[in-house]
Amino acid sequence: MFPARFAPILFGFLLSGIMSCIVTLVASVKTVGLGADTITTWLGSWGFAWPVAFTVVLVVAPFVRHVVSKLVREADTSA
């Protein structure tokens, strides 16, 4: 298990891995179709995209959290 202080990094790592996996698979199938080269093309693309996606998630997440905090109002606790 990881200490709780690593939760944001672990979240970004898993999220970027899953998202880049799905997006590169879709892009690979669209580009080369379903055939003998699909898996090789996809894994090559995913291996390149995941570190990029992880870095972007870590850099952009604070900005996105800030924007979301401005777009969402506080919960009404008077009820």
pLDDT for 54 beyond 70: yes
Q: Which residue type does 73 have? A: R
Q: Look at the block and give the residue holding tokens 């970004």.
A: 12
The domain ranges of the chain are 13-60
pTM of the model: 0.81
The pLDDT of residue 30 is above 70: yes
Closest to 8 (Cα-Cα) out of 41, 43, 54, 74? 54
Q: What is the per-residue pLDDT for 74?
A: 82
